[in-house]
Protein backbone atom coordinates (compact mmCIF):
# COMPACT_ATOMS: atom_id res chain seq x y z
CA UNK A 1 0.00 0.00 0.00
CA UNK A 2 1.71 3.16 -1.15
CA UNK A 3 -0.89 5.45 0.31
CA UNK A 4 0.62 7.18 3.28
CA UNK A 5 -2.62 8.77 4.49
CA UNK A 6 -3.53 6.93 7.68
CA UNK A 7 -7.18 8.00 7.42
CA UNK A 8 -7.79 5.99 4.28
CA UNK A 9 -9.86 2.92 4.98
CA UNK A 10 -11.55 1.74 1.81
CA UNK A 11 -12.53 -1.71 0.60
CA UNK A 12 -10.20 -3.93 -1.40
CA UNK A 13 -9.61 -3.20 -5.06
CA UNK A 14 -12.74 -4.05 -7.12
CA UNK A 15 -10.69 -5.28 -10.09
CA UNK A 16 -8.79 -7.63 -7.78
CA UNK A 17 -12.16 -8.81 -6.43
CA UNK A 18 -13.51 -9.36 -9.95
CA UNK A 19 -10.37 -11.34 -10.80
CA UNK A 20 -11.51 -14.00 -8.33
CA UNK A 21 -14.41 -14.84 -10.64
CA UNK A 22 -13.75 -18.12 -12.49
CA UNK A 23 -14.63 -16.55 -15.84
CA UNK A 24 -12.51 -13.42 -15.40
CA UNK A 25 -9.60 -14.68 -17.51
CA UNK A 26 -11.88 -15.73 -20.35
CA UNK A 27 -13.67 -12.37 -20.45
CA UNK A 28 -10.40 -10.53 -20.00
CA UNK A 29 -8.81 -12.24 -23.02
CA UNK A 30 -11.81 -11.38 -25.17
CA UNK A 31 -11.73 -7.77 -23.98
CA UNK A 32 -8.00 -7.54 -24.72
CA UNK A 33 -8.49 -8.67 -28.32
CA UNK A 34 -11.41 -6.24 -28.76
CA UNK A 35 -9.35 -3.33 -27.36
CA UNK A 36 -6.27 -4.17 -29.44
CA UNK A 37 -8.34 -4.52 -32.60
CA UNK A 38 -9.98 -1.15 -31.81
CA UNK A 39 -6.60 0.54 -31.43
CA UNK A 40 -5.25 -1.07 -34.61
CA UNK A 41 -8.27 -0.11 -36.72
CA UNK A 42 -8.16 3.46 -35.40
CA UNK A 43 -4.44 3.79 -36.13
CA UNK A 44 -4.65 2.32 -39.66
CA UNK A 45 -7.65 4.48 -40.53
CA UNK A 46 -5.86 7.62 -39.31
CA UNK A 47 -2.73 6.68 -41.30
CA UNK A 48 -4.89 6.62 -44.42
CA UNK A 49 -6.57 9.88 -43.38
CA UNK A 50 -9.92 8.19 -43.82
CA UNK A 51 -13.07 9.18 -41.99
CA UNK A 52 -15.14 6.50 -40.29
CA UNK A 53 -17.68 6.91 -43.11
CA UNK A 54 -14.99 6.23 -45.73
CA UNK A 55 -13.81 3.09 -43.91
CA UNK A 56 -17.42 1.96 -43.51
CA UNK A 57 -17.89 2.25 -47.30
CA UNK A 58 -14.65 0.35 -47.97
CA UNK A 59 -15.70 -2.60 -45.82
CA UNK A 60 -19.41 -2.51 -46.57
CA UNK A 61 -20.80 -1.47 -43.22
CA UNK A 62 -22.06 1.66 -41.45
CA UNK A 63 -20.21 4.48 -39.66
CA UNK A 64 -21.91 3.40 -36.42
CA UNK A 65 -20.35 -0.07 -36.67
CA UNK A 66 -16.89 1.42 -37.34
CA UNK A 67 -17.39 3.72 -34.33
CA UNK A 68 -18.32 0.73 -32.16
CA UNK A 69 -15.28 -1.24 -33.37
CA UNK A 70 -12.91 1.66 -32.63
CA UNK A 71 -14.59 2.18 -29.28
CA UNK A 72 -13.96 -1.52 -28.43
CA UNK A 73 -17.65 -1.78 -27.67
CA UNK A 74 -18.43 -4.70 -29.93
CA UNK A 75 -17.14 -8.20 -30.67
CA UNK A 76 -17.14 -8.58 -34.42
CA UNK A 77 -17.78 -11.66 -36.54
CA UNK A 78 -15.27 -13.34 -38.79
CA UNK A 79 -16.82 -11.92 -41.97
CA UNK A 80 -16.37 -8.32 -40.84
CA UNK A 81 -12.89 -9.12 -39.54
CA UNK A 82 -11.95 -10.44 -42.98
CA UNK A 83 -13.27 -7.25 -44.61
CA UNK A 84 -11.28 -5.15 -42.13
CA UNK A 85 -8.12 -7.14 -42.87
CA UNK A 86 -8.61 -6.55 -46.60
CA UNK A 87 -9.83 -2.95 -46.31
CA UNK A 88 -7.00 -1.79 -44.05
CA UNK A 89 -4.40 -4.26 -45.42
CA UNK A 90 -3.70 -5.65 -41.97
CA UNK A 91 -0.55 -7.79 -41.99
CA UNK A 92 0.23 -11.00 -40.11
CA UNK A 93 2.29 -8.81 -37.75
CA UNK A 94 -0.80 -6.69 -37.04
CA UNK A 95 -2.97 -9.75 -36.49
CA UNK A 96 -0.29 -11.36 -34.35
CA UNK A 97 -0.19 -8.36 -32.03
CA UNK A 98 -3.99 -8.25 -31.82
CA UNK A 99 -4.47 -11.94 -31.07
CA UNK A 100 -1.15 -12.52 -29.24
CA UNK A 101 -0.77 -15.69 -31.29
CA UNK A 102 1.04 -14.63 -34.40
CA UNK A 103 4.01 -16.96 -34.01
CA UNK A 104 2.65 -19.79 -36.13
CA UNK A 105 1.27 -17.40 -38.74
CA UNK A 106 4.53 -15.48 -38.90
CA UNK A 107 6.59 -18.67 -39.09
CA UNK A 108 4.56 -19.93 -42.00
CA UNK A 109 4.66 -16.58 -43.69
CA UNK A 110 8.44 -16.39 -43.59
CA UNK A 111 8.85 -20.08 -44.51
CA UNK A 112 6.49 -19.62 -47.42
CA UNK A 113 8.40 -16.58 -48.61
CA UNK A 114 11.76 -18.36 -48.35
CA UNK A 115 10.60 -21.49 -50.13
CA UNK A 116 8.39 -19.64 -52.59
CA UNK A 117 5.33 -21.67 -51.58
CA UNK A 118 1.92 -20.93 -52.96
CA UNK A 119 -0.95 -19.94 -50.64
CA UNK A 120 -2.44 -23.46 -50.99
CA UNK A 121 0.75 -25.19 -49.96
CA UNK A 122 1.02 -22.94 -46.89
CA UNK A 123 -2.52 -23.90 -45.90
CA UNK A 124 -1.81 -27.61 -46.39
CA UNK A 125 1.51 -27.21 -44.52
CA UNK A 126 -0.36 -25.62 -41.62
CA UNK A 127 -2.90 -28.45 -41.65
CA UNK A 128 -0.11 -31.06 -41.56
CA UNK A 129 1.66 -29.25 -38.73
CA UNK A 130 -1.58 -29.05 -36.77
CA UNK A 131 -2.28 -32.72 -37.39
CA UNK A 132 1.24 -33.63 -36.28
CA UNK A 133 0.95 -31.58 -33.14
CA UNK A 134 -2.32 -33.36 -32.29
CA UNK A 135 -0.58 -36.73 -32.63
Partner 1 sequence: MEIVYYFDNDLNLCPVKKYIEDYLPITSGRNLAIITNIDEKIRHIQENPCKPAGFISKLHGYNSIEIKHRKDKDIVIRILYFIHGRKIVLLNAFEKPDNYKKRIEKELDKYYLLADIYIEKFKKTPNFYEEYK
Among 48, 58, 62, 70, binds partner 1 (CB under 8 A): 70
Q: Quote the radius of gyration of the chain (alpha carbons, Å).
A: 20
**Cα–Cα distance, 129 to 135 (Å, whole number):** 10
Residue 46 or 82: the one with the smaller Cβ distance to partner 1 is 46
83 is a contact residue toward partner 1 (CB under 8 A) = no
Chain residues 26-55 in contact with partner 1, contact rule CB under 8 A: 27-28, 30-32, 34-36, 38-39, 41-43, 46
Tell me the C-alpha to C-alpha distance, in Å, between residue 22 and each of 16, 25, 28, 117, 126.
13, 7, 11, 44, 33
CB of 55 to partner 1, least distance (A): 11
**Cα–Cα distance, 84 to 37 (Å, whole number):** 10
6 is a contact residue toward partner 1 (CB under 8 A) = no
**30 phi and psi, to 5 degrees?**
-65, -45
Residues that bind partner 1 (CB under 8 A): 1-5, 7-11, 13-18, 21, 23-24, 27-28, 30-32, 34-36, 38-39, 41-43, 46, 67-73
Amino acid sequence: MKNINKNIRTASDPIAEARKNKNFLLYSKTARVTVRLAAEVYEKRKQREWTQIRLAKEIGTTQKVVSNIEGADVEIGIGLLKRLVDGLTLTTDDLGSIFESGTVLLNFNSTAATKNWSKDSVVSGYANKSANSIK
